[in-house]
Amino acid sequence: MGQKLSNFFYVGHNYREEVRTQIRMWIMITLAFTIAFSWRETIFELSKTFMQWVTRTEDGNSLNALTSLFITLISVLLIFLASHYLKKED
C-alpha cells in the first residue's frame, strides 16, 4: 500500500517539462493579450476613420456600430482563412 501511494505522488521528469511548457504558454498568452489590448484603440480609430471615409457618415453611434461590424467581419474572415490554411491534412 505504501509503495502504491508513493508512486502516485511521484513527480517525474515529464511532469516538470509539462509544467514548464504550460508556464511558457501562459506567459505568452498574457503578453499577447497585453499587446492586443494596447493596440485595440488604435485599430478601432483607424477603422472608424476608414468607415467614415467610405460611408460619409457623421453620426457617432452609427459610425461606432459600422466600425464594430467592419472589425468583426475582417476578424471572422481572418479566422476562416487561418483555419482553412492551417488545418491538418488527413
Domains of the chain by residue range: 2-85
pLDDT band at residue 24, thresholds of 50, 70 and 90? very high
For residue 69, is pLDDT > 90?
A: yes
Residue 52's nearest CA partner among 66, 71, 42, 40 is 66
pTM exceeding the 0.95 threshold for the entire prediction: no
pLDDT value of residue 57 = 87
Choose the weakest-confidence range: 5-14, 23-32, 45-54, 81-90.
5-14
pLDDT of residue 46: 95
Distance CA 21, CA 28 (A): 11
pLDDT of residue 88 exceeding 90, the answer is no
